[in-house]
Amino acid sequence: MNYYVYILTNKYNNVLYTGMTRDLPRRVYEHRNHLDPGSFTAKYKVTRLVYYECTNDVRAAITREKQIKDWSRQRKNALVESMNPTWTDLYPSILE
């Protein structure tokens, strides 16, 4: 089974959200459609998938999520740019 660690941002790329899930398309859909209206991502309109990585080890995914959350904004930006230098919304590409 695959587990995903992902980073979302808003349209201005000035708010970041890091999460972990087993079903990346479903989870990003939930964020994009504000299915939890009281959530951080709904409040700050964080809907664009700009980074993700995959592992088959749930403990590794949880550890990695916590690690990224502890990083500085500069280091998170560098991580995003290592995969997605233009900060393109990757959501359409994970649906293919």
The reported pTM is 0.97
SS3 24: helix
Query: pLDDT (tens digit, 0 to 9) for every residue of the chain, 96 residues total?
Result: 999 999 999 999 999 999 999 999 999 999 999 999 999 999 999 999 999 999 999 999 999 999 999 999 999 999 999 999 999 999 999 998
pLDDT at residue number 96 = 82
Half-sphere exposure of 39 (CA within 13 A, CB side): 15
pLDDT at residue number 30 = 98
